[in-house]
Each structure stands twice: as structure tokens, then as C-alpha cells.
Chain A
Amino acid sequence: MKRREFLGGTIAAGATMVGLRSGMGPALAQGRSNVIRVLLEDGPNTFDPAGTGYNTAAVSITWNVYDRLVSFASAPIEGEPGAFTYDYGTIVGQAAESYTVSPDGRSITFKLRPGATFHDGSPVTAADVKWSLDRCMTVPTAKAQLGTGSLRDPAQFVVIDDMTIRVDTEKADRFTLPNLAIVFPAIFNSKLAKQHATDSDPWAQEWLKTNTAGGGPFKLASYQAGQQFVLERFADWKNGPIESQARILCQVVPIASSRRAAAQRGEADIVRGLAGRDIESLLAGGKTRVLGIPNPNGITFIAMNTQLAPFDNVKVRQAMAYATPYQQMFESVLYKRGRALFGGSASTDSTAWPTPLPYVTDLAKAKALLAEAGLGDGFETTFSIDAGDAALSEPMGILMQEALGKVGVKASINKVPAGQMGTLQAEKKLAMFIGVGNAWLRNPDYFFRVFYNGASRWNYGNFKNAEMEKLVAETRFESDPAVYAAKVQRMIEIAKADVPMITLWSPFQDTALSKAMSGYTYMFHNALELRHLTKA
């Protein structure tokens, strides 16, 4: 008697589930044409575009809720109809209707767009721009970045009149304008923000972390931390067209396979943060469109600490570069979703960077180089991988460990929690690790300045090379293209010969799109650029 009741209960529960599945249809589907559903790996951690410790998801909000003075133009991607990528070479006005660069290149004057307003309807003025740029000079993250474009002092931002602002730099700097087009120098509604400033917090950093005060193409309609947020178009936006009427529903789904499954069933419009196998099975499924956008500025690499024995010996580093199982990693881990950066030419005749390094898997050569370095019997080392990126880095680490074993190098894998990885990198405590570098600004000298030079965390190889330091300094303001090209080529030669980082590939920025989507635009920050999106 009891048992029958129990079984009855189970069957009822099962039936309910079936019912749900079929009953989910019409009412919920009604919303589909005017909602674009985006699945993200993680949620935003701040609404402050210049904020401390912002993550990529935060940029998906700040990029769309705020305007900047200028922005990068977009250009169609060849072979991918309806998809666009940013054009680093063309900077167009956004909040600024136009800008003029003075003949000596030391000041740029911006004319604001008449009639443009913030979301609350108040007009966008030069005072707002000045307040926002001044603010960047006090937030550490923004300040450090804008410094790379010679922007260091509030005095450099001069209000001419209500609708005109001038930015002065000490020297003509080709990085000033791009730096004004990136995420940080967003324009705040300063009157609104100032209402929430306090004596201890004059720039309203606390308030702007959890509130928005922008005038961008989208408004933040709702937000549930770590779960989802909804963006709604700002109908009065004056700075360009917003292609779609749809609301953007962004949901956080931490597990890649769940995101993939949703894409496969056509239950999401845009799915981010997919890699390798997931992409391959989506491609095989054929129901979804996968955009593999090459990101020339991203590099996946194996870094070696050039100040730490035995990697202080260039022969050992080269031996590692010959021992690396490139092709196997590229095929069975990355599923070829990227541009290979190995097996390139030994000679350097262009400034194109990143370029394939001249290494291929050649165990005999690796052994010979190790013998030359006096390490014919191999050595023991630790190979660190980021636990936060384990889906890719763990199989890579295992393949690397196996390959190193073949040349007598005994590597133990150290899986480091994401939070600790940064600390260990900054303190230069890792011997050898897998990392991913991504430069926002595309010039090759910028890349070498950030990744092959200096004391910052991003100098992953802890590379200290007098010639590189000199070249990095000399190219900073070099305006003669021929001289610049020669020096960049020399930097590339050093990167090839000294290999502080074994470059593996530039991964594609893979995004799965439902067939209804078009107008997808890839931006340098890899977060969402929404205003060109349309849904059929």
C-alpha cells in the first residue's frame, strides 16, 4: 500500500516534467523575437568603466552604457557575411562630433555633438567630459593605462566652451587617441555622479560601482549579481544608429558545456566563452553559426622565467621550444581554433607581429641543445597552469609534461587557483607556465613594451634584455616609419632568438550565434558591442 503510493508519486513527478517541456512553448516563445539572449561565462563585477579589478563581463555593460569621445570604426570581416571587427586604424567620433589634431600633434580638440543627452535627459557637456577624464587620473587602473598615451595630469584636459574640450600632451603621441577610444575614459553624467560623491570619495567610486550614470546606446534595465542583466536601447541616443529594437538578456552560465548545449539547441542567440571541442561539436551540429574571429593581439604562450636557472640559459629555452608538441596541442586541445604561431621563418623582414616563431617539434635538436647547455641528463622543473582556465591549460600541460619527459626533463604540473596565479606572476615566482596575453593597442612596439620589458606582471618571461629595453624606449615616440620598422624588426628578432615566451597560437575569439543574428561586431576588449546587432 505504502509502496504503491510512493511509486505513484514518482510517476506524477515524471509526468510533470514532460508536461513542462511541451508546455513551455508558446507564451515564452513570444518574447523571442524581441529578446536577444546572450550566455556569458561570468557576471560583471562593477559598473564603473574605470573601476578597480573590472572583468570582461563588466565591459559588456560599461562599453554599451557609456560613450567615449571617440571610438574605433568597424569593418566587415572577409568571408563572414554580416560580421564585423573593429578597425584599429580608423578612429571616429562618438560623443565627439568631430576632432582636430593640431599641426604639431600635441593637442587634440573635440567638438561635442549638439543635442546629445545622458539617460536622464540632461545634456552632455564639456564639463562632464572634463570631470570624467579627471576622474581617470585618480582611479589606479585607468591612470596606469592612459599613462601609456601620455595622459597623466588633469591639467591636460582643457574646457574651451560648453561643447568643446582640448586634450594636450607634452609630445605628439600616437597612443593618445587610441587610449581615448578604449574602455576606461567613458563619459559620466557628472551632475548625477557628483550628487553621490562624499568627502572621502570625491569621485563617487562607491556609488558608480553599483549604479550607472551614462549616455551610451543602452540602458541597464535590470541586474541580478552573478545571474543576469538586461540592457535596453536608449531611444534618444544621438551618436549613431542602434540597429535593433530588441532587449538584450545576458545570463551567466559558468559551465561551458551547458552553454554549448544551449547553443546547440538554438536556445541562445549569442554564446561566449566556448573553446576547442565545444566549438567543434557546434560546427558539426550545423544548427548554429560559429564566428571564429582572428584576434591578432592575443597570444597563447609558454613563458619561462629568464632570470631563474636553468631558464636563464638561452639554449635551455630554445631546447624547450624544440620539445614543445605544437601540432598535437594545436589539434587535440585547440581543435585548430586559432592561427598557429610556430614553425615560422627564421628571418625577419616585416613588422608584422605576432608572427610564428621559427620553432617546430624536434626532439633531437632539443636534446642536443640541452647537452650543449650542460644538461644532457635533463633537469626537474615545475610547470604551472591556471586552474581558472583548466579546460585548455590542463590538457596542454599534460601534453607538455609528456613531451618534456622525452628529452629527460621531469616537469611536475602545478595547478594554481586563478587568484594566486596573478600573484605568482607578479612576484616572478613561476619557472614555466602557460599564459594568455592580450594587448588592447595593436602597435608592435606597444606589445613588446608590455610583454617583453619592465617589472609589471605582464612581462611573463621576466625578460631583462638591455637591447630590448633600449629599442622599446626609442620606438616610443619614433615618427620616422623606416626607422620604426627597422627597430621593430630587431625586436622581433630578439623575441625569436631569446624565446622568453614560446608562442603557440593566436586563439580565435569564437562566438556561437543563432541563425537569426547579424551585425555581430568584435571589439578589441572581447566583450559585447551591441548596437549593430539585429535579430531576424
Chain B
Amino acid sequence: MRSDALAFIVRRNVITTVAAVLIVLLVVIAIVGPALVPYDPLATSATEVLMPPSARHWFGTDGLGRDIFSRVIVAARLDIAIAVSAVALSAVVGVSIGAVSGYVGGALDRVLSRVVDVMMAFPLFVAAMALVAVFGNSVKSIVLATAIINLPFYFRLIRAEIMARRSIGYVEAAVITGNSATNVIFRFLVPNSLPPVIVQVSLNLGWAILNASGLAFIGLGVAPPTPEWGIMIQEGAALMLSGEWWVVVFPGLALVLSVFCFSLLGDGIRDVIDPRRRS
């Protein structure tokens, strides 16, 4: 029965399946890629500066003679790690706070909601920039900044879900049978409210990668020489006007492809969880 359902879903969602396969591939690359690349992604070469793509350097070399193919592959791990940890952090924290706020209600809820309103009113990207500038150019602060600006969405999502379910029969039953508030929230309410959160998470992953690359493009990325797609695009941006397109295009395509897969997967998951809202 279950496997039949799965087969049906796969048939109905060819694109989603392709996206899922690509993501698995991406994750595999992120895990084993660094061991397989033909060149040291950090090794410079004075004699092979800005070579166009060739059999020797599939994606060409950059301004310091580094192999772009190796750098693009190695960067996958960092970019995916940043996105996953940022989204995980904001989902866990946002869901916890939002659930408590929605369940407890009253003054606490009013205060927290106002704080979230303030966060929502902030221009998101400027907030992220300021946070990275405050915490310094490191992976940690990029993750933190991305997580913080995402927090309000999870807070609002789960809060609405919890408030809608607070007075449903099984929850009231759980309260009457003497479950603690913590138990009610995290054993009964949250698990039942998770589907929209999961959809949000899958849609958010791609967005987090975009956000991190945007920060890098502005100059607030991870420290050099660490390979990262956004930084590679920023480094090559200047070369686009003189025709050395490969420095920008390959990391850019890697970025687009992974965000693309995550977003298709997010759509697919939404279709499965809530077919009515398919888009």
C-alpha cells in the first residue's frame, strides 16, 4: 500500500523525482567530492592564470591560476552545510518559541509577536549584512545571520497552527489526563503541526544558499581562500566585462542548479503533504 502510494507519487511527479535524484547526487558530491577533485582547490599557479575551459582544466582557471572545477566541487560541501545548518537552526528555535508563544498566549505571546513584527519590518538583507558585519566574516556568523532573519517565518507558521489546534479534542484530552504543558506542546501539538514546517524548510534551503551567496557578493562572505560559490562569482564579476565568463558562470550554474533542485523538491514535498495547494 505504502510503496504503491510512493510509486504513484513518483509517476505523478517526474520533475520532483529528478530533483530528488539530483539532490542526492549533490549531497554525495558534498561528502566525497573533496577527495576526488583533480587539483588542490587552494593551489595557485603563476603560469596558468585565467585559462579558458580545456581538457586539462574542465572549468578553466581563475585569476590566481586555481582550478575552478575543483573549487566548485569542494564548495558544494560548505554551501550546503551553511544552508542546512542555518535552516535547521531557525526552524528548531522558531518552532520552539512560536509553539510556546501560541500555546501559552497572553502577555508572553503579545510581547513575542511584537518582537517578531519588528523583525519582519526590517529589510531582511540589510539585517543579514549588519549581523555578519557585527559578528565578523566567518561561517558561523553567516549561519547565524541567515538563521535569525528566517526565524519570524517559522514563529508565525507554527504559532498559527498551534492556536488553531489548541482547543481540538485530542489536545484537551491530553491536558485533562494531566500532561504537562511542555508535553502537550512538544508531544501532541508540534508533531501534528509539522507538515507546513517541513514544506517551509525544504523551500527555505534554496533561499538560504541564495542569501549566503548574496552576502558573499557584497563582500560579507566566508574568509578567503575558502572556496564558496557566492565568493567565486564575486571574484569573477569583474572579469565578465573582459570576456572571462567561465570564472563566474560555473560557480553560478552550480548555485542555480542546487537552489533549483531544492525548490523543486520543496514543491514536490508540498504536493505530497498538501495536494490541494499544489502550485
A and B in contact, CB less than 8 Å = yes
* B42 CB within 8 Å of chain A: yes
Residues of B within 8 A of A398 (CB): 42, 44, 64, 224-225
B196-228 vs A, CB cutoff 8 Å, 1 = contact: the mask equals 000000000000000000000001000111000
Measured CA separation A415–B222 after assembly (Å): 9
* Known contacts A332-B49, A390-B219, A401-B225; A260/B44 CB under 8 A: no
Task: Output the residue of A260, A328, A415 with the most chain B CB within 10 A.
Answer: A415
Verify B49–A391 contact, CB threshold 8 A.
no
8 A Cβ contacts from A233-274 to B: 255-258, 260-261
Task: Output the residue of A277, A391, A401 with the most chain B CB within 10 A.
Answer: A277
Residues of B within 8 A of A277 (CB): 63, 242
Partner of A256, one of B65, B219, B225, B238: B238
* A417 CB within 8 Å of chain B: yes
* A281 CB within 8 Å of chain B: yes
* B107 CB within 8 Å of chain A: no
Nearest opposing residue in chain A for B136, CB measure: A414
Least CB distance from A380 to B in Å reads 14
Verify A332–B219 contact, CB threshold 8 A.
no
A139-174 vs B, CB cutoff 8 Å, 1 = contact: the mask equals 000000000000000000000000000000000000
Partner of A413, one of B223, B235, B242: B223
B63-77 vs A, CB cutoff 8 Å, 1 = contact: the mask equals 111000000000000
Task: Output the residue of B42, B44, B219 with the most chain A CB within 10 A.
Answer: B44
Verify A395–B64 contact, CB threshold 8 A.
yes
Verify B219–A397 contact, CB threshold 8 A.
no
* A402 CB within 8 Å of chain B: yes
8 A Cβ contacts from B247-267 to A: none
Residues of B within 8 A of A415 (CB): 137, 219, 223-224
| Chain B: interface residue total (CB-CB under 8 A) | 21
* B127 CB within 8 Å of chain A: no
* B46 CB within 8 Å of chain A: yes
Verify A387–B225 contact, CB threshold 8 A.
no
* B133 CB within 8 Å of chain A: yes
Least CB distance from B58 to A in Å reads 22
* Known contacts A412-B223, A415-B224, A417-B133; A402/B46 CB under 8 A: no
Verify B241–A332 contact, CB threshold 8 A.
no
Verify A395–B63 contact, CB threshold 8 A.
yes
Measured CA separation A121–B46 after assembly (Å): 60
Measured CA separation A414–B223 after assembly (Å): 6
8 A Cβ contacts from A397-427 to B: 397-399, 401-402, 412-415, 417
* Known contacts A277-B63, A415-B137; A391/B43 CB under 8 A: no
Nearest opposing residue in chain A for B242, CB measure: A281
- The B interface is mostly helix, strand or loop, or mixed, namely loop
* A331 CB within 8 Å of chain B: yes
Residues of B within 8 A of A332 (CB): 44, 46, 49, 63-65
* B21 CB within 8 Å of chain A: no
* B37 CB within 8 Å of chain A: no
Verify A257–B238 contact, CB threshold 8 A.
yes
Verify B64–A399 contact, CB threshold 8 A.
yes
Measured CA separation A25–B86 after assembly (Å): 51
What size tier do the contact residues of chain A reach?
20 to 34
* B116 CB within 8 Å of chain A: no
Measured CA separation A89–B172 after assembly (Å): 92
Verify A260–B242 contact, CB threshold 8 A.
yes
Residues of A within 8 A of B22 (CB): none
Measured CA separation A331–B63 after assembly (Å): 12
Nearest opposing residue in chain B for A393, CB measure: B224
* B239 CB within 8 Å of chain A: yes
Verify A257–B240 contact, CB threshold 8 A.
yes
Least CB distance from B74 to A in Å reads 15
Residues of A within 8 A of B225 (CB): 398, 401, 413
Residues of A within 8 A of B112 (CB): none
Nearest opposing residue in chain A for B63, CB measure: A395
Residues of B within 8 A of A412 (CB): 223
8 A Cβ contacts from A357-410 to B: 387, 390-391, 394-395, 397-399, 401-402
Partner of B224, one of A256, A257, A394: A394
Verify A261–B44 contact, CB threshold 8 A.
no
Least CB distance from B225 to A in Å reads 5
Measured CA separation A331–B223 after assembly (Å): 24
Residues of A within 8 A of B240 (CB): 257
Verify A257–B239 contact, CB threshold 8 A.
yes
* B237 CB within 8 Å of chain A: yes
Measured CA separation A261–B238 after assembly (Å): 10
Measured CA separation A261–B244 after assembly (Å): 13
Least CB distance from A400 to B in Å reads 11
Nearest opposing residue in chain A for B226, CB measure: A413
Measured CA separation A260–B240 after assembly (Å): 12
Measured CA separation A319–B58 after assembly (Å): 38
Measured CA separation A395–B62 after assembly (Å): 11
8 A Cβ contacts from B118-156 to A: 133, 137
Residues of B within 8 A of A390 (CB): 219
Pull 21 A–B residue pairs with CB atoms less than 8 Å apart, ordered by A.
Answer: A256-B238, A257-B237, A257-B238, A258-B241, A260-B241, A260-B242, A277-B63, A277-B242, A331-B46, A332-B46, A387-B137, A390-B219, A391-B238, A394-B224, A398-B42, A398-B44, A398-B64, A414-B137, A414-B223, A415-B137, A417-B133
Q: Show the binding face of B for A, using Cβ within 8 Å.
A: 42-44, 46, 49, 63-65, 133, 137, 219, 223-225, 235, 237-242
Pairs of residues from A and B, 10 with the lowest C-beta to C-beta distance, nearest first: A257-B238, A257-B241, A261-B241, A398-B225, A328-B46, A332-B46, A413-B224, A413-B223, A387-B219, A415-B137
Q: Show the binding face of A for B, using Cβ within 8 Å.
A: 255-258, 260-261, 277-278, 281, 328, 331-332, 387, 390-391, 394-395, 397-399, 401-402, 412-415, 417
